[in-house]
Amino acid sequence: DAGITQSPRHKVTETGTPVTLRCHQTENHRYMYWYRQDPGHGLRLIHYSYGVKDTDKGEVSDGYSVSRSKTEDFLLTLESATSSQTSVYFCAIPSPTGANVLTFGAGSRLTVL
């Protein structure tokens, strides 16, 4: 999606290894969000950021940390991945075209074996 990219798009890792997902935006927006999508749960907010070095927890933040050292990048880290963190992860930013609307990235599919 225009203005927001996620990397990697696919990753397979083993239990106990660290994993970092990157979200990059070109819209210069203060707010950035990380969600995870799981069948039967929809999308759930993990963490969000409201500026450089300003972050806060969402509803499913346990086992995840985030960092925002510059406006354009928001990193999601799994310090020690577990199988329950197998999911599709989406980054989002406020839409430049509509108030109160989020624009989502294409997603990062993570499999923890």
Partner 1 sequence: AQSVAQPEDQVNVAEGNPLTVKCTYSVSGNPYLFWYVQYPNRGLQFLLKYITGDNLVKGSYGFEAEFNKSQTSFHLKKPSALVSDSALYFCAVRDRTGANNLFFGTGTRLTVIP
Q: Which residues bind partner 1 (CB under 8 A)?
A: 1, 31, 33, 35, 40-45, 48, 50, 56, 58-59, 90, 94-95, 98-107
Task: Give the pairing of strands 108-112 and 10-13.
Answer: parallel
φ, ψ for residue 69, nearest 5 deg: -90, -15
For partner 1, give the closer residue by CB, 81 or 105: 105
For partner 1, give the closer residue by CB, 87 or 94: 94
Are the C-beta atoms of 24 and 73 separated by less than 8 Å?
yes
Closest contact distance (angstroms) between CB of 44 and partner 1 is 7
For partner 1, give the closer residue by CB, 40 or 53: 40
CB proximity list for 61: less than 8 A, separation 6 or greater: 46, 47
Rounded distance between C-alpha atoms, residue 108 and residue 96, angstroms: 22
Closest contact distance (angstroms) between CB of 15 and partner 1 is 26
Closest contact distance (angstroms) between CB of 106 and partner 1 is 5
